[in-house]
Structure 1
Amino acid sequence: MTTTVPKIYSFPEFGSVAEAVADHIIAAQNHALFGDSDKKQDRSNSTGSAMTTNTTASSSNSASTTNIAGTPSNPANSSKKKKKEVVKRFKIGLSGGSLIQVLHEGLLKRDDVLWDRWDVYFADERLVPFESTESNYGKIKRKLFDQIPEGKGKPKVFPIDESLINDPQECADNYEKCLIRGFANKDSVKKPMFDLVLLGCAPDGHIASLFPNQPTLRENFAWVVPVEDAPVGPAKRITLTIPVICHAHRVTFVVEGQTKAPVIKTIMERPDKGLPSSIVNEGAAGRVSWFVDDDALHDVFVTKKRYKFLVDPPQK
């Protein structure tokens, strides 16, 4: 068994996983924006603040940043040299794969997602055109962001620079600079600290674009690294490194399907095998949660927990 046991929440069906993950995300959102209170906040009190945040943040973003929310108006009292109020943002890192469908099913029906207070980064990206079905950004844009109902605001989204997809090293360096602008800017920080990083886990054990037995697992300094020869899917990618993932306030895995059961068994029962998820379970000990369906835990010896909703679930 793993020496550091994460929280493992198991559900009988996909829909239950999506609903619980949505609650988990909104609880993380509320904690990041409003402090210890995980209760639903009044959107009417936060919308104006979010507009101010977008104005402040946009001045330091690169040309490659996609502001799905659009361009906010200038502050009315710009002539007065007052110290600008710092409005908190929810900084989330997303991976791709089946996780995107979970987000689609769980989040779009909620009315308490403060989309205009989100800064969305990517835990990894395949170096393909955004229109490709292999693009994490392209897929999540079409499946989630483009389907946010009118009037609910839009997140600020930070994709890779599409013009750099033929040069993995330059693309990784460019995305690291994007993270520096978003997390460090004028402060000296060793690593970005996401409020939440959401990851899947493939049957071969890779998370984000960190593959088992690859040199990228041993990277301790860079925030983002290139992948030149991924063993599955598009060969060229970029990915956040293990230290960056482990530095997040919360790291959450979302895994479903019986095809994942063998690798989950190895992750949980044989951490000595050094699979990426096992490394994260140890490195982010106490901040890791797993949301899985029962099929993914077939023949896996773990202690499952019952998920307790932290935010009022949506009305049905």
Structure 2
Amino acid sequence: MTTTLLVGSSPDALATELVKRLGAIAKESVLARGVFNVAVSGGSMPKILSGLAQAEGIDWSKTRIFFADERCVPLDHSDSNYKAWEGLFSSSGIPAENVVAVRTDLTPKEAAADYEAKLRQHFPPPEGDSSAGGAAEILPTASPPPSFDAALLGVGPDGHTCSLFPSHPLLEERSKWVAHIEDSPKPPRQRVTLTYPVLNNSRNAMFIGTGEGKASLLPQLLSVGTDGALESAGESSPYPAARVKVAEGRALAWCVDEAAASQCPPEIAALATKC
């Protein structure tokens, strides 16, 4: 696993570099597997990545968009992550069937089961693997979890990512790919979220954040290992975002602007790539 810190001189500079990198990942993914599978989060990310629709290298007809988490509200509600990305969907021309949305007209538990079934359809187990269950059934993941080419993740002021919150039992979920939450400490309380087995199997997990509001948090999410390389704080951290630690051969990137990186200690700042 490779962990990197990318620091943009401004939010715009960071956005430009991210669009360029995602275009390269998309092109490589289509060449290797015929499709670019990306999971997206909400918050400020759709605004930061507003230039993604025109990214060089992204063939939208071969791109599938999934949601790292979703709030259990109608898809046209202002709190909906789907709604937040609608501008990209219309401006990119991505086929409607390539956007795999959470069914928020179901109960949270049903929506999680339905979304896991969708993931199993789009990421079938290797040939000869009989562990796949029925379409609407959540079974232990004996087969490998989905491997997104890019998982675009945010981090909240409390260190949460997706709908994985500090001290919540869902932090220990290791069998389900998709879980529901009825007691989110941040409204709306009902949500559906990807779990760590999926996040940690991403080929490229990218945390994206800007602004001074992230500055005091970032140094607590990263550390320098005994080998002198950057790494996440890991499972001992109280912050859910720090527990995302992708598998060997995968890449984890923290992508922030100078304001967000302003309180990083010298040993972490020295390992950053500037853009």
Q: Provide the identity percentage.
A: 29
1:200 and 2:142 correspond: no
CA contact (8 A) 2:24 2:57 kept: no
CA contact (8 A) 1:227 1:237 kept: yes
CA 1:285–1:10: 2 relative to 1, 3 Å: farther
CA contact (8 A) 2:202 2:246 kept: no
Q: Which of 124, 144, 147 is 2:88 aligned to?
A: 144
| Partner-residue secondary structure (3-state), 1:108 | helix
Give aligned pairs, total: 247
1:65-144 aligned within 5 A: 88-104=34-50, 106-141=51-86, 143-144=87-88
Between the aligned partners of 2:249 and 2:239, the Cα distance in structure 1 is: 15
CA 1:286–1:194: 2 relative to 1, 3 Å: closer
CA contact (8 A) 1:251 1:284 kept: no
Length-normalised TM-score, structure 1? 0.73
Bigger strand fraction:
2
CA 1:124–1:284: 2 relative to 1, 3 Å: farther
Between the aligned partners of 1:129 and 1:282, the Cα distance in structure 2 is: 32
Between the aligned partners of 1:5 and 1:297, the Cα distance in structure 2 is: 19
1:291 and 2:255 correspond: yes
1:30 and 2:39 correspond: no
Between the aligned partners of 1:146 and 1:163, the Cα distance in structure 2 is: 23
1:275-290 aligned within 5 A: 275-281=239-245, 287-290=251-254
For 2:192, the equivalent position in structure 1 comes to: 238
Between the aligned partners of 1:114 and 1:279, the Cα distance in structure 2 is: 32
Structure 2 residue identity aligned to 1:181: Q
For 1:216, the equivalent position in structure 2 comes to: 170
Unaligned runs of 5+ in 2: 130-142, 224-232
CA contact (8 A) 1:29 1:90 kept: yes
Runs of 4+ aligned structure 1 residues displaced above 2 Å come to 108-113, 152-155, 185-190, 269-274, 281-286, 303-308
Deviation at 1:12, TM superposition (A): 1.6
CA 1:176–1:258: 2 relative to 1, 3 Å: same
Between the aligned partners of 2:82 and 2:68, the Cα distance in structure 1 is: 11
For 1:190, the equivalent position in structure 2 comes to: 144
CA contact (8 A) 1:6 1:285 kept: no
For 1:65, the equivalent position in structure 2 comes to: none
CA contact (8 A) 1:20 1:307 kept: no
Between the aligned partners of 2:149 and 2:66, the Cα distance in structure 1 is: 11
1:13 and 2:10 correspond: yes
Between the aligned partners of 1:111 and 1:30, the Cα distance in structure 2 is: 9
Larger Rg: 1
For 1:154, the equivalent position in structure 2 comes to: 95
